[in-house]
Amino acid sequence: MAEITPGRAYGFFTDTSVCIGCKACEVACKEWNQLPGHEPAFGDGFDNTGGLDAQNWRHVQFIDNVPDQTMGTGQGKAWLMMSDVCKHCKEASCMEVCPTGAIIRTEFDSVYIQPDVCNGCRNCIAACPYDVISQDEQKGVAQKCTLCYDRMQGNMEPACAKACPTDSIQFGPVDELRQAAQQRVTDLQEQGVTEARLYGDDSSIYGGLNAFFLLMDKPEAYNLPNEQNAVLPRRNNAGGYLATLGTAVLGVFGGLIALRRRREPAAEEGDQP
Amino acid sequence: MTLAQAQHFVAPPHWTWYILFYFFVAGISGGSYLIATLFRLRGDRADEPAARLGYYVAFVALLPAPILLTLDLGKPLRFWHMMWNTTPGEPGLNFKYWSPMSVGVWALLLFGVFATVSFLESLVRDGKLGRPGGRGLDGVFGRVFITVGAILGLFIAGYTGVLLAVSNQPVWSDTWALGGLFLASGLSGSAAMLVLLQRARPAARASEGTLVRSERLYAVLELALIVIFVVTLIPDGTLGIVFGFPWLLLWLVAFAGLVPGIAGLLTSGLTVRGEPAAAHRQSGSGGTAVAAAERTSVMTSVAMPVLVLLGVLALRAAIIFSIQ
C-alpha cells in the first residue's frame, strides 16, 4: 500500500456485511499490542470477549437475530457480526473531558491516550458514548485502540486490518475509505440488500468517525447511538452551571432570610428567661 | 425502547467510595464557608463564634478532599498532571473551562487557600495563635476576601453535580439539576453540621436558631431540586435506574433527611423554639442566650442534624452508585 504520511487522516472502514466472526482481528491486536487479555470466560453465545475495554481493543459483536418462527428461504438473518473498535471521532467525547491533556489527536488524525501522561481519573470512560475505554488494572491508566500508532509510524497498517481475512476491516486514508464505502453501499443496495447503511461516514455522528462502519441493521442494534443520541458531554455545562448558580442565589437569599427573621418582633415569643 | 428515550451504551467510570466521600466533604466544606461568611457579614456580634466555627468546619472538611481524589486515581503520584500538561513538546498549565474536572481542580486549589486563611484567621481571633483576642482580616479587604471565598465555596459544593452531568452516562447526563441539587443538599448538610457542632462550642449557641431556620429553607430548596431532577429524567426514561431497588432505600434515607427541615417549617414556620430574642443578643448577655439555647432538646440539636447529614450522604450515594 501507499506510504503512510503524517498530516493525513487515516482510519478504518469496517464492512460488517462480510465479517465472518473469526476474531482474527482480536488476536492480531492482542499479539501486536502485547495485551494480556482477561481470564477466559464462556458465555452462552459465540461472544466470549464481552466488550471493548483496556484489554480488548477490537471486539467482534455477535448479535443474535435468529427469529422465533421459521422463516422462508432468504428471509433469515441469523447473525449480525461486527468487529467493533474505537471510532476515533472527529469530535471526541473522551478528549473533550480529559483534564490532563493525555488524550491527543496524532499526526494521523487518530485519538491517542498517552500512557505516561494519563493519571487514571476515568473521566474519559464516563464520557465515551461507545463503551470503548477502560482502565488497565495493572498500569492504572485508561487504554483503548491506538490505531496502531507505533505501526503507522513504521509505515505499517494496523494489525487488525492486516489480519482480517475477508477485508471486513479496511485501513487507509479516510477520504479514500469513504469513497470505497459509498461504492460498497450502492452496490449492496442495487443487489437488493436494502438494510445496508453507513454509520459515521459523514459529519452527522460526532463530526465524522475516522473508524466508520457499514451496518446491516439500525445503529442501536449494534449498541451504537443514532444521530439524535450522538451528543457531546459539554452540552450539559451551561444547564448544569445555571442550575447551580440559581441554587446559589437562592441559598444566599435563604441564609439572609434566616438571619433577618429573628430581628422581627415575632422571634421574641420564645424569650422567657 | 421508544425513539424519545436516550440511548446509553457507555461504560461506568467506577467512581465509588472515594468519590462519594469527596462529594460529601466538598458539600459540607463549601456550604459551611458560605454560612460562616453570612454570619460574619450580615449577623451581629453574637454570631461571630458561629462564623468562626463555620470556618473551622470548612477547613477540616476540606482536608481529606485532595487525599480522597488522589487515592481514587489509577496513578495517584500523577495527581499533578491535572494541573501541568506533561505531553512531550507541549508543556503548560492544563485548564479546560468546558471540563468540570479541570475547572474543579483549580477551584479546589483556590478554595483551599481561602479556607486555610480563614481557618488561621479564626484561630487568631480565638486567641489560639499568638496573643489572645488577636485581630483578623478586618475592613474592606477582609469582607471582600471572605465573599470571594464564599463564592468559591458555593462552586465547590455544586460543581461535583455538573461534573457528573458532563458525561454520557445514563441519569447523570439526562438532567441539568445535579449541580443545584448537590449544592442545596450541601447547604442543608452544612447547617445541620454546625447545629451539631455548636453543642461543643457554647459561645456559638446564640446562632442555633438561625442555623435551624437556614436548614429548613435549604431542605425546601433541596426538595424542589429533587422534583426537578425527577421531572427532567422522565423524557429520557432513566427514572427507573436511579429509583430502582436497592437505591430506593438510599432515597428513603435522603428523604428522611429532609423531614426535620420540612416538618419544622410546616409546624413552626421560621420560628425556632427557645431562641433568645434579638435584644438580649445585641446587649451581649451571653448567659441568657446560652440558658435559652440549652432548652433545645437533644432531639433538635443531635438526632435531627445527624439524620440530615445521613440524608446528604445517601442522596449522593444513590446518584453515584445506581448507574454503576
Determine the Cα–Cα distance for residues A132 and A210; give it in Å rounded to an integer: 15
Residue A72 has pLDDT above 70, yes or no: no
* Residue B27 and residue B311 in contact, taking contact as beta carbons nearer than 8 Å: no
Q: What is the rounded average pLDDT of the residues A244-270?
A: 79
Q: Specify the CATH class of A10-231 in words.
A: alpha beta
Residue A271 has pLDDT above 80, yes or no: no
Phi-psi region of B284 (alpha: psi -120 to 50; beta: other; left: phi over 0): left
The residue among A100, A106, A111 with the most chain B CBs within 10 A of its CB, best to mutate, is A100
Q: Which three cell numbers stand for residue B283?
A: 446587649
Closest CA in chain A for residue B289:
A273
Interacting residues of A209 by C-beta distance below 8 A, sequence separation 6+: A11, A87, A88, A89, A90, A199, A200, A201
* Residue A169 and residue A17 in contact, taking contact as beta carbons nearer than 8 Å: no
- E strand or H helix at B92, and its extent? strand B92-93
* Residue B35 and residue A83 in contact, taking contact as beta carbons nearer than 8 Å: no
Of B82, B159, B167, the CB nearest to A99: B82
- How far does A270 lie from chain B, in Å, by closest CA? 5
Closest CA in chain B for residue A128:
B10
What is the per-residue pLDDT for A79? 80
Single-letter code of the amino acid located at B236: D
CB contact under 8 A, A252 and B277: no
**DSSP, res B62:** H
Determine the Cα–Cα distance for residues B67 and B179; give it in Å rounded to an integer: 22
Q: What is the rounded average pLDDT of the residues A140-148?
A: 98
CB contact under 8 A, A252 and B38: yes
- How far does B225 lie from chain A, in Å, by closest CA? 9
Residue with cell 491486536: A29
- How far does B130 lie from chain A, in Å, by closest CA? 32
Of A224, A240, A268, the CB nearest to B178: A240
HEC secondary structure over B261-324: HHHHHHHHCCCCCCCCCHHHHHCCCHHHHHHHHHCCCHHHHHHHHHHHHHHHHHHHHHHHHCCC
ipTM of the complex: 0.92
Instruction: Using a pLDDT cut of 70, give the percent of chain A over it.
Output: 90
Residue A75 has pLDDT above 60, yes or no: no
Tell me the sheet residues that pair with B62.
none
- How far does A19 lie from chain B, in Å, by closest CA? 22
Residue A165 has pLDDT above 90, yes or no: yes
pLDDT tens column, A189-220: 999 999 999 999 999 999 999 999 999 999 99
CA distances from B156 to A248, B42, B61, B162 (A): 11, 22, 12, 11
Determine the Cα–Cα distance for residues A167 and A18; give it in Å rounded to an integer: 8
Q: What share of chain B is helix, strand, coil (3-state, %, to 5)?
A: 70, 0, 25
CATH of the domain spanning B17-321: 1.20.1630.10
**DSSP, res A131:** -
User: Domain ranges in chain A?
Assistant: 10-231, 236-270
Residue A119 has pLDDT above 70, yes or no: yes
Query: Which of A43-52, A122-131, A213-222, B53-62 shows the lowest mean pLDDT across its residues?
Result: A43-52
Confidence of residue A133 (pLDDT cuts 50, 70, 90): very high
What is the per-residue pLDDT for B62? 98
Contacts of A228 in chain B (CB under 8 A): 3
Of A100, A116, A247, the CB nearest to B184: A247
- How far does B241 lie from chain A, in Å, by closest CA? 17
More confident residue, B187 or A43: B187
Contacts of A252 in chain B (CB under 8 A): 34, 38, 154
What is the per-residue pLDDT for A77? 62
Of B75, B102, B167, the CB nearest to A99: B102
Handedness of CA A34, A40, A45, A46 (dihedral sign): positive
Chain A, chain B: beta-carbon pairs less than 8 Å apart: 259
Determine the Cα–Cα distance for residues A66 and A69; give it in Å rounded to an integer: 9
Interacting residues of A42 by C-beta distance below 8 A, sequence separation 6+: A48
Contacts of B11 in chain A (CB under 8 A): 51, 53, 125, 128, 131, 133-134
Phi, psi of B284 (to 5 degrees): 80, 20
Burial of B306 (0-12, 13-18, 19+ CB in 10 A): middle
CA distances from A25 to A28, A180, B273 (A): 5, 21, 73
**DSSP, res A89:** B
Of B10, B184, B214, the CB nearest to A258: B214
Which stretches does DSSP call E strand in A51-173? 58-64, 79-85, 103-105, 111-113, 134-135, 142-143, 169-173
Handedness of CA B38, B216, B24, B60 (dihedral sign): positive
Q: What is the rounded average pLDDT of the residues A83-93?
A: 97
Ranges of residues in chain B whose predicted pLDDT is under 50: 1-4, 279, 283-287, 289-293
Q: Which three cell numbers stand for residue A224?
A: 451504537
Predicted structure pTM score:
0.92
More confident residue, A271 or B35: B35
What is the per-residue pLDDT for A268? 43
Peptide bond into B76 cis (omega under 30): no
Contacts of A102 in chain B (CB under 8 A): 81, 87
Tell me the sheet residues that pair with A85.
A58
Q: Please state, rounded to an integer, the average pLDDT across all residues of chain A.
A: 91
Chain length of chain A: 273
- How far does A172 lie from chain B, in Å, by closest CA? 27
Determine the Cα–Cα distance for residues B176 and B221; give it in Å rounded to an integer: 15
CB contact under 8 A, B221 and A120: no
- E strand or H helix at A214, and its extent? strand A211-215
Q: Which three cell numbers stand for residue B161?
A: 453535580
